[in-house]
């Protein structure tokens, strides 16, 4: 068991994207879901978890004023620390990791703000997993068959039991993920969309746990309706 007492668990919430695929005038993290801006759902889940000591929100530099206004409106200004995002997701994460050098950090949980249905029990299970490893990610099983394609041609039908859908938050020992990001940048890798892949590239192991089927990512307009339906099932209310 890895024992590192008196060190912090930090939630990093990524909201620096432009949301181009969503097709809205504002980045999707600012869209309203159940009477609350999308990115606040993730922030509140971390804020309400007793084992999370610090929360960093990585913002889009063109929307700093909007971010600050919303945090003030919800009385979160002194509770959330802001870090400017980079051009790519990977660089946004690295900015947050560099910012955390000033603190005594044990673990970081890196989460996409476009996943508003993060459950506090999932945070707990990832932190429990990190007591025995240095990298832990939540995954869910595929329900349908998958195939490998090239242009419009099917190359092969794959065994879905060998594949999983990766979710966030992804949990890491702080020094492990910071080192993996630094190694990637040294090798001119700058556009990775998955933090655990950088740990794997470094030759280190990544453990997985069962994720949450409700923990969907908001990518297209219809995903907001699905998320709202799931929130009704879970009796979640914004405000």
Range of the domain at 69: 8-233
Closest CA to 229 of 33, 26, 42: 33
Q: How confident is the model at residue 5 (pLDDT cuts 50, 70, 90)?
A: low
Q: How confident is the model at residue 28 (pLDDT cuts 50, 70, 90)?
A: confident
Say if residues 8 and 105 touch (Cβ distance below 8 Å).
yes
Mean pLDDT of the region 75-93: 95
For the chain, how many residues are written? 239
**Can you give the pLDDT at residue 131?**
96
Q: How confident is the model at residue 235 (pLDDT cuts 50, 70, 90)?
A: confident
Q: What is the pLDDT of residues 104-122, one digit of tens each?
A: 999 999 999 999 999 999 9
Indicate whether 207 belongs to any domain.
yes
Angle (CA) 196 31 81, round 5° = 55
Say if residues 223 and 231 touch (Cβ distance below 8 Å).
no
Mean pLDDT of the region 32-38: 93
Q: How many domains does the chain have?
A: 1
Q: How many CB atoms lie within 10 A of CB 165?
A: 14
**Can you give the pLDDT at residue 197?**
98
**Can you give the pLDDT at residue 19?**
55
**Can you give the pLDDT at residue 81?**
97
Indicate whether 239 belongs to any domain.
no
Q: How confident is the model at residue 100 (pLDDT cuts 50, 70, 90)?
A: very high
Q: What is the pLDDT of residues 45-72, one digit of tens each?
A: 999 999 999 999 999 999 999 999 999 9
Indicate whether 44 belongs to any domain.
yes
Indicate whether 211 belongs to any domain.
yes
Indicate whether 2 belongs to any domain.
no
**Can you give the pLDDT at residue 26?**
75
Q: How confident is the model at residue 1 (pLDDT cuts 50, 70, 90)?
A: very low
Angle (CA) 96 35 112, round 5° = 25
Closest CA to 170 of 197, 203, 152: 197
Q: What is the pLDDT of residues 125-153, one digit of tens each?
A: 999 999 999 999 999 999 999 999 999 99
Q: What is the pLDDT of residues 147-205, one digit of tens each?
A: 999 999 999 999 999 999 999 999 999 999 999 999 999 999 999 999 999 999 999 99
Indicate whether 120 belongs to any domain.
yes
- CATH of residue 88's domain is 3.90.550.10
Average pLDDT, the chain: 93
């Amino acid at each position: 068991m890895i024992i590192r007492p008196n060190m912090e668990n930090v939630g990093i919430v990524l909201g620096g994207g432009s949301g181009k695929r969503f097709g809205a005038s504002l980045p999707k993290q600012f869209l309203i879901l159940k009477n609350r801006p999308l990115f606040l759902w993730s922030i509140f889940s971390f804020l309400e978890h007793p084992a999370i000591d610090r929360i960093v929100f990585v913002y889009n530099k063109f929307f700093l004023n909007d971010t600050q206004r919303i945090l003030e409106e919800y009385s979160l200004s002194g509770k959330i620390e802001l870090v400017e995002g980079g051009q790519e997701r990977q660089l946004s994460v690295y900015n947050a990791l560099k910012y955390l050098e000033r603190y005594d950090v044990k673990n970081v949980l890196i989460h996409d703000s476009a996943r508003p249905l993060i459950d506090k029990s999932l945070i707990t299970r990832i932190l429990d997993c990190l007591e025995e490893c240095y990298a832990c990610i939540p995954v869910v099983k595929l329900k349908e068959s998958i195939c490998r394609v090239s242009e419009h041609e099917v190359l092969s039908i794959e065994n879905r039991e060998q594949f999983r859908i990766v979710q966030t938050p992804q949990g890491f020992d702080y020094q492990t993920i910071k080192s993996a990001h630094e190694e990637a940048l040294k090798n001119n890798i700058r556009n990775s969309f998955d933090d655990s892949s950088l740990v794997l590239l470094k030759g280190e192991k990544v453990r997985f746990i069962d994720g949450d089927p409700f923990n969907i990512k908001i990518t297209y307009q219809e995903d907001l309706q699905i998320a709202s339906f799931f929130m009704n099932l879970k009796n979640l209310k914004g405000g």
